[in-house]
Each structure stands twice: as structure tokens, then as C-alpha cells.
């Protein structure tokens, strides 16, 4: 009965997936703002990359709710989206969203990238990358490279397998790099580098593994890197999502579009298959896929099947920006940590003091930091989420890293709301700083020379790039001022354990979590342990801002703007203020746009904000802590009859309020052969160094 039920459940799920794919694949060419021909053939629609206009927070929320395949390329007024079929275009149109096509045929673009990569590899003996690699790795290449690093550098590199095999039974591997690497429990802080949570984001794995090659190659010859590998340990897991990546990279290399018949009109054109697959290989919640099932269940572009691993972590799981339905691109999974891939990373972080973490993705040229939802969002406790308690320090490091690669340093929520992400959980559960790098400007896996340039830096960033940004992150992870230190004396050979059990909040409840790390006391009897703070960020006091009800200053303008003409008004910020709000309103159901510029002393205008909503939506721009000076407020009318409008500029103060605030402790145990001889509570904050001499343990140890 149980087996029959499982087969029936799987059959229904696959049937639904096939039906969804069929619907999404039908339809014809994409004409922004136009109708989709109902009878068009499926093969007339190729996967497209489009830029969707989202000038307001409501627009972004409406887009996220559609469950389409969002990229990580977004700005204050747009999000780029992959359309896998005409049904996706219809969903955008039905929601009243406007878009422009940026890459009209991702299959053809995949073919062009493959051709460029073949040409680069043919012309290159060895690239400037630390490994000399000149083309994208496949899964077997990653595994071979990790083995080569470990075999060639004993004492410096240790290859290891993570505890959970993938849904298809594959082992997930990482390497640990450090001076005297085999002394795992020696109390050094850990820096963790991750790649390929999302299958199609090939450069994310390349950058992770190249950083491993870089450290190994320069250890002993570069004073900075040698010193860092004595102070800290580096763990690199370049391919978190082994099943999905294998499908994406193998199918992507098959896409070919070359004329045959000696210049005739014939061509070989593979479908994209799983080349643009985002998720893992979970087909039916709770069940492992059958042999070959993941490859066969590829919806257009391979994005429909699976769980989005970067929505499956426990922190705030199930909240904004994470889809509840399996066919949606950001499907969060059946439960927090339901997937073996995220359980691997959870257990890795829970068993070490990971004081710094970078998880690599593509694309958007961004350095993102927690939290994943806007600070004024009401959280599961009924209070605003607020900014991360370590916002100032994380922003400072994020800004310094972005200065090396030309990326934009910003909060994760400024891209769009997300929950259940890697650092949503890791930062809030452990206190270790966590960042997402969105590598590259405009493609999931661009021509390989762009991977080289992003890692090493190009143009104004030559010699810097992500390599230098990663090194800055490693320096921060090794810096005791950015974490905490516990030291003291205990019996030589004793096992010390720092442990903490707690509940991690999801969006609708909580899950049980545990951090459990060990250290072996050296022959001298003294120990120094670099640890994360004892109080988790998620329960620390946090600051929220409440905007005053009365403005400090306000000015109202009225006018009429002819079609296709702008009208400018000036507003002066003559005092310190926390917020500048500009609202544009009109009585008719027309479509006006609002742009705000800061006017320089020479009259030049620098754009600082804009709002270009859809028909009937009123416009609003909000500027945080505006600099004193003159601002130009521009009303634009592109297509309406000449409506009269009202423009209001207001300055506000906001008050900071502290909410919440608990103090937690580690439990420090001293053990001999698994027997606890002493336990003491340890409270330590970021940047603190506390002493813990375990005298009772020493006394009992000597008694046998």
C-alpha cells in the first residue's frame, strides 16, 4: 500500500509537471505590450532574457508573486527575468508589467558562447588564472582538480566529502586549506567559500575553485597569503548543487548552431535542455528521483523542476521572496533544510566557527549583505525586521570588497526580498559575517574570458577583481576584532567543546538548531579558540527607524506638462534630515513619471532617484539622509493628454528605536574519552577576548 501510494503520488506530480511544461512552451514570438498568438507553434518561442520595469516596491512584489525565473540582475526600477515560454510572457502581461527583451534567443546565445569558448581555448595554452584553466569545468573536472590539489600538497590541502550524498547519489566534495591542515581542532577561525547553489551559474564555481588554486600556488611565496593560512583555515566547496550543475553544464555544452552543407541553410540546433536549470533534482517532495528522471523532467530551460537551494535554508524560511509551489522558480522546498545539499552546508557551518562566508552566484556585479528582507518588513515576531545588528561593520567590509571589483555594495533586500538564503541562516544563527557575490554584469555563464577578467580584474580594476575582494574577506575572517576569542588552560590532550542549542525562527514557526564545535588542547596545556559571538544576531537588540508624522519642511508645486515634455521644479535641502520624500499625484488615469536629480555647483544634474509606475499608479521617490543642496524634481509626460499634477517634497526626521535584546552563552565542556569533567557558561561578544581556565577539569583529569 505504501509503495503504491508513493508511485501514485510520483505519477500525479510528474503529470502535473509535464502539463505545466506544455502550457509554458506553447505560444509564439514575444512582442512587449502585445498579444501572444494562441495558435503559434511551440518551437517559435526561444527562451529569452528580458528586463521587467519595477519602479515601485509593489511592482517588485507583484513580479515575485508570479513565480517566474528571476535573475539576480536588478536595480531600483527593474528586474531581469528569463522567459522560458510564451506562458511566462502572458503572465507578465496579465499582471500589468512592462518589459523589454535584452537577449531574444538564449539558445542562440548559448551557441555563440560555446563558439567563443572554443576559439579562446584553441588560442590559449594557459589562461592567467591560478590554475591556467581556459574553459569551463564540468563536474568531473572539479572533482579531479580538488583531488589534484590535495594529492600534490599534503599538509596544506585536505580533500573531504560532505556527509550527505545528492538526490542522485553523488558525493559532494570540498577542500580545506591551511598551514598544518590536518590539525583540524586547533582553534583557528574558518573562512568558507561556496559556489554553484544555482546550477546555471557556472562562474560561481570557477571563482571558488580558482581561489583555492590561488592560495595553494602562493603559499610559501606570498607573505600575505602565507600569513593568512597560518592564522585561519579556508574551506572551499565549489559545487554545492552537483546534480543540477551536471545537467546544466553538460546540456549547455551540447547547444550548437553551425551551418552545414558547406555553407547551406541547414543547421544543427539543440534545445537548451537543462542549460539554464536553476534548482536541484528534487522532482517530488520527500522522494529521491528515479534514474534519469531529473534530466527527463526538464521544463523549458530546466528551471521548473527542483528546489531552489538558496531558499531552503532555515533562517526565515517560508517568508517573502520564496515560492510555495514546486513549479515556481524560487520554490523553497517542503521544509527548512529538506534538501541534502543545504543539510551539507548546515552541518559544515554548525561544526566549525565559520567567521566569514562568501557564497558566489551570477549575475549582477553586486556584493550583497544580510538581511534578505527590507527593514520595515513585519517579521514573524510581529515587529519590523530592522537592519542586521552588525550593519555598520558588514557595510564597511562590503564597500571595501566592492571597491576592488567595481561591484555595487548593498543590502540583499535592495535587489528584491529573499528568505531562506545561505546567509539568512548562517549569519543569524552563528554571527559569522556572510555575503553573496553576484559575479559578472549580464549573463549566467558568459564567454570564459569574462570569468578570467572578473577574477583577476580588468580595466580600472586590473590586478584587483574578485581575487582581491576574496582576500579582504579572508583577512576579516582571520581578524579577532571581527569575531571573538576564548582562551585559558586545560589538561593537555583534553577535548574542549563549545555547544549551543536554540530555535531558529522561520517565517511561520521555528526549527531546532545546534552549534557544536571542538578543540584539542595542545601539549603545553594552553588553548586559544577563535569563535563566533555567543549571542546570535537574530536575538540581539536591533535598531528600527520610525518616521516622524510631521515634516521638517514641505513644499508643494502644481503644473501641467504637455505630452513628451518634462517639467522641472527645484527644492532645496537646507538642513540635516533623515528622509526626503517626493510624491507626484494627478487626478486623471494618466501615466506620468517622476525623476529626482541633485544639482551640482556647475549646474550638472546627477540622478538620485526615480519612479516610473504603470498607468494610474502614482509616483513616489524616497531618499535616505539627503545631502544638503538643490534638487531638481522632474515630471515627465510621454503619452498622456496634458493632465494637471501636484508635486510635494517633504523632509522628515526619523527616530531610532531599539527592540528585542537577549544575551546568550556558549556552554564550554572539558571532556576526557567522551566523559564530561567540567562545564562552564561563556558569554563573549564580537571583538572580545575572555579567559576560561578549566581548573576542575585539570583536577579530575589528574585523578584519572
**450 and 342 part of one domain:** yes
Whether the pLDDT of residue 242 is over 80: the answer is yes
Strands 675-682 and 666-672: antiparallel
438 part of the active site: yes
Q: Is residue 515 part of a domain?
A: yes
Residue where a domain terminates, one of 72, 104, 136: 104
Domain that holds residue 619: 549-652
Whether the pLDDT of residue 263 is over 50: the answer is no
Whether the pLDDT of residue 361 is over 60: the answer is yes
Which CATH number belongs to the domain containing residue 17 in this structure? 3.30.70
Read off the pLDDT of each residue in 126-143 and give the average, rounded to a whole number.
Answer: 98
Q: pLDDT tens for residues 507-551?
A: 999 999 999 999 999 999 999 999 999 999 998 877 666 667 789
Give the pLDDT of residue 130: 98
Q: pLDDT tens for residues 12-58?
A: 343 333 333 333 332 222 223 333 333 333 446 778 899 999 888 78
Report which DSSP code applies to 600.
P
Give the pLDDT of residue 113: 93
**311 and 298 part of one domain:** yes
Q: How many residues does the chain have?
A: 704
**254 and 305 part of one domain:** yes
**126 and 18 part of one domain:** no
User: Grid coordinates representing 376?
Assistant: 520595515
Residue where a domain terminates, one of 48, 76, 104: 104
Residue where a domain terminates, one of 87, 104, 121: 104
**419 and 442 part of one domain:** yes
**Cα–Cα distance for residue pair 657/108, rounded to 1 Å:** 53
Whether the pLDDT of residue 310 is over 50: the answer is yes
Give the pLDDT of residue 617: 58
User: Grid coordinates representing 611?
Assistant: 519612479
> Is the separation of the CB atoms in 498 and 517 below 8 Å?
yes
**Cα–Cα distance for residue pair 453/357, rounded to 1 Å:** 22
Mean pLDDT, the chain, whole residue set: 86
Q: Is residue 376 part of a domain?
A: yes
**76 and 125 part of one domain:** no
Give the pLDDT of residue 50: 93
Catalytic residue among 438, 450, 475, 619: 438
Which helix (H) or strand (E) element contains residue 62? helix 57-65
**319 and 280 part of one domain:** yes
Q: Is residue 194 part of a domain?
A: yes
**Cα–Cα distance for residue pair 374/415, rounded to 1 Å:** 10
**Cα–Cα distance for residue pair 646/618, rounded to 1 Å:** 11
> Is the separation of the CB atoms in 596 and 609 below 8 Å?
yes
Give the pLDDT of residue 303: 63
pTM of structure: 0.79
Q: Is residue 541 part of a domain?
A: no
* Overall number of domains in the chain: 4
Higher-pLDDT residue of 108, 406: 406
CB neighbourhood size of 8 (10 A): 10
Q: Is residue 536 part of a domain?
A: no
Q: Is residue 445 part of a domain?
A: yes
Whether the pLDDT of residue 631 is over 60: the answer is yes
Give the pLDDT of residue 634: 94
Which CATH number belongs to the domain containing residue 244 in this structure? 3.40.630.10
Amino acid at each position: 500500500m505504501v509503495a503504491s501510494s508513493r508511485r501514485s503520488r510520483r505519477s500525479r506530480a510528474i503529470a502535473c509537471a509535464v502539463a505545466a511544461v506544455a502550457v509554458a512552451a506553447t505560444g509564439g514570438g514575444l512582442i512587449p505590450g502585445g498579444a501572444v498568438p494562441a495558435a503559434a507553434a511551440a518551437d517559435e518561442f526561444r527562451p529569452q532574457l528580458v528586463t521587467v520595469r519595477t519602479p515601485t516596491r509593489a511592482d517588485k512584489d507583484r513580479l515575485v508573486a508570479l513565480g517566474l525565473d528571476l535573475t539576480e540582475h536588478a536595480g531600483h526600477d527593474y528586474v531581469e527575468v528569463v522567459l522560458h515560454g510564451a506562458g511566462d510572457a502572458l503572465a507578465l502581461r496579465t499582471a500589468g508589467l512592462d518589459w523589454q527583451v535584452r537577449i531574444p534567443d538564449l539558445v542562440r546565445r548559448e551557441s555563440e558562447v560555446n563558439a567563443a569558448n572554443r576559439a579562446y581555448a584553441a588560442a590559449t595554452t594557459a589562461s592567467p588564472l591560478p590554475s591556467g584553466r581556459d574553459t569551463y569545468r564540468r563536474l568531473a573536472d572539479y572533482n579531479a582538480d580538488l583531488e589534484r590539489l590535495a594529492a600534490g600538497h599534503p599538509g596544506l590541502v585536505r580533500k573531504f566529502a560532505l556527509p550527505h550524498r545528492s538526490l542522485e547519489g553523488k558525493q559532494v566534495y570540498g577542500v580545506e586549506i591551511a598551514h598544518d591542515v590536518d590539525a583540524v581542532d586547533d582553534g583557528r577561525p574558518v573562512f568558507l567559500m561556496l559556489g554553484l547553489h544555482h546550477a546555471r551559474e557556472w562562474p560561481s564555481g570557477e571563482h571558488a575553485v580558482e581561489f583555492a588554486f590561488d592560495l595553494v600556488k602562493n603559499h610559501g611565496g606570498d607573505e600575505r597569503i602565507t600569513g593568512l593560512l597560518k592564522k585561519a583555515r579556508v574551506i572551499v566547496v565549489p559545487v554545492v548543487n552537483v546534480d543540477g550543475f551536471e545537467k546544466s553544464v553538460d546540456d549547455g555544452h551540447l547547444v550548437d548552431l553551425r551551418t552545414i552543407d558547406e555553407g547551406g541553410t541547414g543547421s544543427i540546433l539543440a534545445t537548451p535542455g537543462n542549460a539554464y536549470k536553476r534548482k536541484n533534482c528534487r522532482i517530488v517532495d520527500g522522494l529521491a528521483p528515479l534514474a534519469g528522471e531529473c534530466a527527463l523532467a526538464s521544463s523549458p530551460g530546466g528551471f521548473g523542476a527542483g528546489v531552489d537551494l538558496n531558499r531552503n535554508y532555515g533562517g526565515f524560511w517560508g517568508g517573502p521572496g520564496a515560492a510555495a509551489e514546486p513549479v515556481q522558480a524560487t520554490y523553497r522546498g517542503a521544509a527548512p533544510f529538506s534538501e541534502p545539499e543545504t543539510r551539507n552546508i548546515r552541518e559544515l557551518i554548525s561544526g566549525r566557527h565559520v567567521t566569514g562566508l562568501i557564497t558566489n552566484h551570477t549575475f549582477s556585479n553586486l556584493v550583497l549583505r544580510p538581511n534578505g528582507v527590507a527593514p520595515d518588513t513585519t517579521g514573524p515576531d510581529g515587529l519590523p525586521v530592522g537592519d542586521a545588528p552588525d550593519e555598520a561593520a558588514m557595510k564597511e567590509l562590503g564597500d571595501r570588497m566592492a571597491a576592488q571589483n567595481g561591484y555595487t555594495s548593498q543590502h540583499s533586500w535592495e535587489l528584491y526580498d529573499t528568505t531562506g538564503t545561505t546567509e539568512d541562516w548562517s549569519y543569524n544563527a552563528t554571527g559569522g559575517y556572510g555575503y553573496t557575490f553576484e559575479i559578472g554584469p549580464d549573463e549566467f555563464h558568459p564567454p570564459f574570458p569574462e570569468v578570467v577578467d572578473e577574477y583577476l580584474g580588468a580595466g580600472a580594476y586590473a590586478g584587483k577583481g574578485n581575487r582581491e575582494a576574496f582576500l579582504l574577506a579572508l583577512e576579516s575572517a582571520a581578524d579577532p576584532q571581527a569575531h571573538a576569542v576564548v582562551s585559558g588552560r586545560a589538561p593537555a590532550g583534553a577535548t574542549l567543546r563549545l555547544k549551543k542549542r536554540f530555535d531558529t525562527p522561520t517565517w511561520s514557526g521555528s526549527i531546532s538548531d545546534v552549534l557544536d564545535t571542538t578543540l584539542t588542547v595542545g601539549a603545553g596545556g594552553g588553548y586559544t579558540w577563535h569563535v563566533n559571538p555567543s549571542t546570535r544576531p537574530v536575538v540581539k537588540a536591533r535598531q528600527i527607524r520610525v518616521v516622524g508624522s510631521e515634516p521638517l519642511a514641505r513644499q508643494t508645486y502644481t503644473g501641467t506638462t504637455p505630452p513628451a515634455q518634462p517639467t522641472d521644479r527645484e527644492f532645496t535641502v537646507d538642513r540635516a534630515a533623515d528622509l526626503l520624500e517626493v510624491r507626484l499625484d494627478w487626478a486623471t488615469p494618466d501615466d506620468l513619471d517622476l525623476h529626482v536629480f541633485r544639482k551640482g555647483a556647475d549646474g550638472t544634474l546627477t540622478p538620485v532617484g526615480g519612479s516610473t509606475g504603470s498607468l494610474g499608479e502614482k509616483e513616489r521617490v524616497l531618499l535616505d539622509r539627503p545631502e544638503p543642496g538643490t534638487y531638481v524634481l522632474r515630471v515627465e509626460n510621454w503619452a498622456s493628454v496634458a493632465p494637471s499634477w501636484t508635486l510635494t517634497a517633504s523632509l522628515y526626521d526619523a527616530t531610532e528605536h531599539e527592540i528585542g535584546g537577549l544575551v546568550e552563552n556558549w556552554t564550554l565542556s572539558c571532556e576526557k574519552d567522551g566523559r564530561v569533567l567540567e562545564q562552564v557558561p561563556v558569554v563573549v561578544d564580537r571583538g572580545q577576548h575572555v579567559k576560561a581556565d578549566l581548573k576542575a577539569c585539570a583536577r579530575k583529569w589528574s585523578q584519572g
